[in-house]
Amino acid sequence: MEDSNGMENLQAAATTSDLNTDTEAAVNDSWCDIESDPGVFTQLIRDFGCVGAQVEEIWSLEANIFHNLEPIHGLIFLFKWMHDEQPDGRVVSNFDENIYFAKQVVENSCATQAILSLLLNLRHPDIELGETLTRFKDLTIRLDPLRRGYCLGNDRKIRTAHNSFARPTFIVNESQEEEIEDATYHFVSYMPIGERLYELDGLRLGPTELAVIAPGQNWLDIARPIIEARMHSYSTDEIHFNLMALVSDRQRFYERQIEQLQRDSLQLPQPQREAEMNELLHRLRVEKEKNRQYSVENARRRHNYVPFIVELLKQMGEIGELTPILVEAKLNAHEANESSEKVEVEDEFYLSQILE
């Protein structure tokens, strides 16, 4: 969809900001792989300037697991991408203007794209987009999905936040690199928009309409069976899935509940009031400790340990401690290979006995 107003907005933005639709720059700028971890995704959201949201990992598709995290604003699903996989619903090319959808044009950007697909379509009093995301949405709202994708690829603030989780590389194992290239994993989002449930996948031409949400129906009751069926469509030995939920900031959520309970305390019997307060205070402590742990883990992820490791190996080599360790490691590897070969020979022997 070409429109002059959209291009004028974009051109004005290009002169005053980091936003542009330079296709070559978007494709050539490097984006790193992002670890599928709720602490990483939560920190990314905060680094984008968004307030009031966090990400929680979903360990089970049981309904009560989802209920305990509500309000859930959207789901992020990681799976093994297959080029011939068919959509679970109807891919909409001419979609409602209330749906913000961007094509993914940059490799490795799908984690950030999945987060933004939810945040830029979300309208909830708990969550504030912040200056960076509000400005990005306002400047790209009139563009078509492809040009939105190029704008995202060229946005330096968003890309810098994303790449802050890049892992330092020192030694590349070629065999592992080949395995990674063979298995491509991809993030997509699920969320209700209006009266319909959508899957938002930047590799498709548009949003995928999955179902109509009936009045009073919880959209999660529709999404859970769809995701479960998608998992079952893979072979039984495929276990590399990850499901996360975008929720309201749990610490702020419990703090507001505590304030509400304090206001209503005179209306409740004392034993009930004390029990509820103790439960809320416990949950608040758990959230604070979780956020503290996230901060520690993310600091470790972002720290470059390579110079320390190199210097440590140099020092060990100078005092003669490195060579014995290398010799021992080679010996252990050799013994492990011999043991593995012995098991294979025994398995072949037993199999031949059975076949006879």
Residues noted as catalytic: 110, 186
Q: Please, are residues 207 and 223 in contact by the beta-carbon 8 Å criterion?
A: no
CB atoms within 10 A of CB 312: 12
DSSP-assigned beta bridge partners for residue 57: 244
Distance separating alpha carbons of residues 332 and 326, to the nearest angstrom: 10
Residue that has been written with the tokens 């003669």 in this structure: 320
197 membership: H or E segment, kind and range: strand 196-200
Give the chain's length.
Answer: 356
Which residues have C-beta within 8 Å of that of residue 70, sequence separation ≥ 6?
247
Please tell me what DSSP assigns to residue 215: T
DSSP 62-129: -HHHHHTTPSEEEEEEEEE--TTPPPSSEEPSS--TTS------STT-HHHHHHHHHHTT---TT-B-
Sign of CA dihedral 103, 108, 114, 116: negative
